[in-house]
Structure 1
Amino acid sequence: MAAIHITDIEAAINYWRSRTPSPDGIVLAPELRALGEAYALMVFRQADAVDEDALPPEALAAWLAWYDATPDTPCIAICSTSQGDDLCKGCGRTFDEVQFWPAMTPAEKRGVWRRITLEHTAWRFNRYAERAAEGPSDKPVVPPTAVQGAGPR
């Protein structure tokens, strides 16, 4: 069984905190209580991961609901494993991870996401992420024929 990293438990807690804020600052939603207990046990045991089958059913259900709100795949549609690379330059997954992705459990997928995020070498984290963050250009697009000296004479 695959392990769920503590950072994913934290992300799920934050997801549920924003979805179901406490009405009085004391009472927590059931999902938050379940995840909070699992998180507290991890901290107490100084564990950075927990097997998905070791999570109480309520905590696992809350984690899976958060998981369903995240992107399923790191793919950016630039796959170099189809061209023989062992590690995809676009998303950072191995050939086997790309091939068996549909059969992986949510915890296995999150493990891959964690690895590629920590490695931070795939194009999804640099070239294309930078372009997306820049947003649309403020400069007007000038057709080549409108540029002085360009076009037919």
Structure 2
Amino acid sequence: MAGIHISDLEAAINYWRERSPSSDGLSLADPVRVLAELYARMAYRHETEIEEATLSQPAREAWLAWFQTTPDTPCIAICSTSQGDAVCKGCGRSFDEVQRWTEMTPGEKRASWRRITLEGTAWRFNRYAERAG
């Protein structure tokens, strides 16, 4: 199972706050509330990830709505795994991630995105950054 990182929950909360701002400065729209409650529990427990499968249906729907606004794949059409590399120089995904991408859950995809972003060594982050845009 894939873990959803707390930074993704924060991004989803901000996404929903922009789309459904509080009318009175106090109340929260339902998607913001369910994600914020989950975020607060994680912060209280000092957790950085939560299993994707454990999300409540409303939290999952709110998170997936945000997820749909993110790029699906880190691919920049320079795939060195097709040349035998274990990790693609273009996007930073492993050979297995490239092969399984269409089967991966949204949480698994976000975990891959987080890893390659933190590493920052793939060409999508330097040499060919314009292709990533």
Q: TM-score range by the shorter chain?
A: over 0.9
1:132 and 1:105, CA in 2 relative to 1: closer, same or farther beyond 3 A? closer
Q: Structure 1: which amino acid aligns with 2:114? A: R
* Closer/same/farther in 2, CA of residues 84 and 132 from structure 1, 3 Å limit: closer
Gaps (5+ residues) in structure 2?
Answer: none
Q: State the match for 1:54 in structure 2.
A: 54
Deviations 1:22-68 (A, max 9, x none): 11111111000000000000001100000011111111110000001
Cα root mean square deviation, aligned = 1.3
1:95 corresponds in structure 2 to 95
TM-score (norm 1): 0.83
Q: Which has the higher contact order (CA 8 A, sep 6+)?
A: 2
Classify the secondary structure of the residue corresponding to 2:96: helix
**How far apart, in 1, do the equivalents of 2:124 and 2:17 lie?**
28
The normalised TM-score by structure 2 is: 0.96
Matches within 5 A, 1:59-138: 59-129=59-129, 131=130
Match of 1:8, SS state, is helix
Alpha carbons 2:12, 2:63 under 8 Å: kept? yes
- Structure 2 CA distance for aligned equivalents of residues 94 and 119 of structure 1: 13
2:39 is the alignment partner of 1:39? yes
SS in 2 for 1:25: coil
Distance 2:85 2:61 in 1: 37
Deviation of 1:132 after TM superposition, in Å, equals 6.5
Q: Which residue of 2 aligns with 1:8?
A: 8
Matches of 2:53 and 2:79 in 1, distance apart? 32
Q: Report the Cα distance in structure 1 between the residues aligned to 2:4 and 2:82, rounded to whole angstroms.
A: 29
Q: Distance in 1 between matches of 2:18 and 2:8?
A: 15
Gaps of 5+ in 1: 134-153
**Per-residue deviation at 1:73?**
0.2
Counterpart for residue 23 of structure 2 = 23
